[in-house]
Structures are given as C-alpha cells and as structure tokens.
C-alpha cells in the first residue's frame, strides 16, 4: 500500500524515523533559546487581564499571530500582573505560529526535502505552510487536547489541509500520544471556528455549531518514537489525553494547505498580512 493509499484509507499515516535523533535535539535546543527570550512581564499581561477583557485580549493575540512568534501559557501559569507563577520551562503550552518563517532552525526543518516529498506524494500541487507550533505537553501538567478536526480551524475550498506532527521525544499512551478515529475523515467537516460576523459582539471568534460527541471507544492510541512524523488529514478526528506521567511529550507541528485553484477562507482565525502571504513549500 502506498503512502497516499494508506493516508486516504485511514486519514493519517506514520512516517517512522522522519528526523534523526540529532535533528530532533537541534529543534529542542532552539526551543530552549526561545524560552530564554520569552516576553517580559509587561507584555504577558494580556494573558491574565482580570475582568471582561480577558477573552477578547487572548483572542486578538491569537488572531494576530500569523506572522509572529507568539507565546501561549498554560492555564494558571501567570498571575494578574503577568508574572510567572511556575518555572519558565513548564509555563508554556505552545509557541507559534510563524516559527517556520522567522526562526532559521525551524524553517530549515519545515522546508526540507523530506517534507516536500511527503506533500508531493499526497498530491499537493502548490502547497504553502499556513502555521507552525512547538507544543510542550509538559510532564504531569500537559493539558488534554479535546477531539477535533484541524479543518475546523483551517478551511480551504476545495478542502486540502494536512498537518505534519513530529515527535520530539517518544509519544506514549502514558504521556499523551495522539488518538485517532480511523477513517473519520470521510465524514466531512463537523463544525468550524470562525471570525464572528457579528461585529457588535465582544466575541471575536465563535464556533458555528455545537461540539460533536465522539464515543471514546472509537479512538485508537497511536504511540510513536522520537523523530517520527504523523501526517494528519484535516478532516480526521483526533485528540490526546492529559500528560500525567513523569515524561514530557514535546512536538513540532505545522499545517500545509493547497493554494492551486483553492480559496483560503476569509473566516479562518488565521489570516496572513496582505504584504506577507503564506510561504510556498516547493519554492523554498
């Protein structure tokens, strides 16, 4: 069975040994440098504003992150003044969404020939990288990722969105590896997270439908080793449990969209600046 056949059948595909241990260690070391350069307290207060502005401030920071390296903290990591309540190395949930553009190390691995070959085999004609994230899933505190489809957040017409999820350490059942409903990508997009068309509302983003309920026994754990990459169809339902183990589960992930004869939805939360469009994969 070819990569494309397996991907089309299941909605995901595991590529073992996608990055070497040395390459993974380089990404992790670069992330440690990013942690050392995280925003000062005065710039972190938007995450912890007390009162009605909290949600809108967080939404605006999120929506404005397409061309920046932005820091997203774990719930409860900051006090009301933006000061850290925990050690810096365990304070972050993720860093994104333009690592692949602004950081030379992450850019090198996002635009390498292995990524290009995988996307070519999946049938991309003019792929572009929409966003990138380093997700920490820290030991004992890494939060649950509820069941979702990536296409709820990144939508194109016609729809062609694929995530590349690279394990930067062993991802196990104990530390929160991905879970999939195999074949669920064949059921379409169940709901979308969109910019609120009601400009008078304080909510900048909304879901257009209630959250679907997915039976827990439909999910299958997919543990992978350090350096493995999981290709994820934008429509496949996946999730991960909280990390209550003593071992962190860091990953680097980014999303590829088709741009040839394809419209990127103007309702998506992520919108590139008009003078800085998404970077094309095959041209870099």
% the chain with pLDDT above 90:
77
* 146 against 55, higher pLDDT: 146
Domain boundaries, the chain: 3-280
Inter-residue long-range contacts of 184-188, CB under 8 Å, 24+ positions, other chains counted: 184/11, 184/218, 184/235, 184/236, 184/237, 185/11, 185/149, 185/233, 185/234, 185/235, 185/236, 185/237, 186/11, 186/235, 187/235, 188/235
What pLDDT is attached to residue 56? 72
* Position 233 confidence tier, pLDDT thresholds 50, 70, 90: very high
CA distance 24 to 166: 9
What pLDDT is attached to residue 51? 46
* Position 267 confidence tier, pLDDT thresholds 50, 70, 90: very high
Homologous superfamily (CATH) for 3-280: q2cbj1_9rhob like domain (2.60.120.620)
pLDDT digits (tens, 9 = 90+) for 238-262: 999 999 999 999 999 999 999 999 9
* Dihedral over Cα of 266, 267, 268, 269: its sign: positive
Burial of residue 265 (number of CB atoms within 10 Å: 0-12, 13-18, 19+): middle
What pLDDT is attached to residue 59? 84
pLDDT digits (tens, 9 = 90+) for 75-122: 778 887 778 888 877 888 999 999 999 999 999 999 999 999 999 999
What pLDDT is attached to residue 49? 46
pLDDT digits (tens, 9 = 90+) for 34-74: 999 887 776 775 555 444 456 777 888 889 999 999 998 88
What pLDDT is attached to residue 61? 87
Mean pLDDT, the chain, whole residue set = 92
Size of the chain in residues: 284
């Amino acid at each position: 069975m070819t990569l494309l056949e397996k991907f089309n059948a299941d909605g995901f595909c595991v590529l073992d040994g996608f990055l070497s241990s040395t390459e993974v260690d380089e990404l992790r070391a670069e992330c440690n440098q990013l942690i050392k350069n995280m925003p000062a307290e005065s710039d972190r207060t938007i995450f912890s504003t007390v009162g009605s502005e909290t949600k809108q401030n967080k939404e605006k920071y999120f929506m404005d992150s397409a061309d920046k390296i932005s820091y997203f903290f774990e719930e409860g990591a900051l006090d009301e003044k933006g000061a850290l309540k925990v050690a810096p190395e365990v304070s972050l949930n993720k860093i994104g969404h333009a690592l692949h553009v602004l950081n030379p190390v992450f850019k090198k691995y996002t635009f390498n020939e292995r990524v290009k070959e995988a996307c070519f085999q999946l049938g991309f004609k003019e792929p572009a990288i929409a966003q990138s994230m380093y997700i920490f899933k820290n030991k004992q505190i890494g939060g649950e990722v509820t069941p979702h489809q990536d296409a709820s957040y990144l939508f194109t017409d016609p729809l062609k969105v694929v995530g590349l999820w690279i394990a930067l350490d062993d991802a196990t059942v104990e530390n929160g590896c991905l879970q999939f409903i195999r074949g669920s990508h064949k059921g379409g997009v169940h709901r979308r997270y969109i910019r609120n068309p009601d400009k008078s509302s304080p909510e900048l983003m909304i879901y257009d439908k209630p959250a679907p309920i997915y039976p827990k026994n439909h999910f299958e754990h997919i543990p992978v080793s350090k350096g493995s990459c999981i290709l994820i169809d934008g429509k496949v339902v996946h999730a991960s449990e909280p990390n209550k183990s003593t071992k962190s589960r860091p990953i680097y992930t980014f999303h590829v969209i088709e741009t040839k004869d394809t419209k990127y939805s103007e309702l998506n939360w992520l919108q590139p600046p008009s003078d800085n469009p998404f970077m094309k994969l095959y041209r870099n």
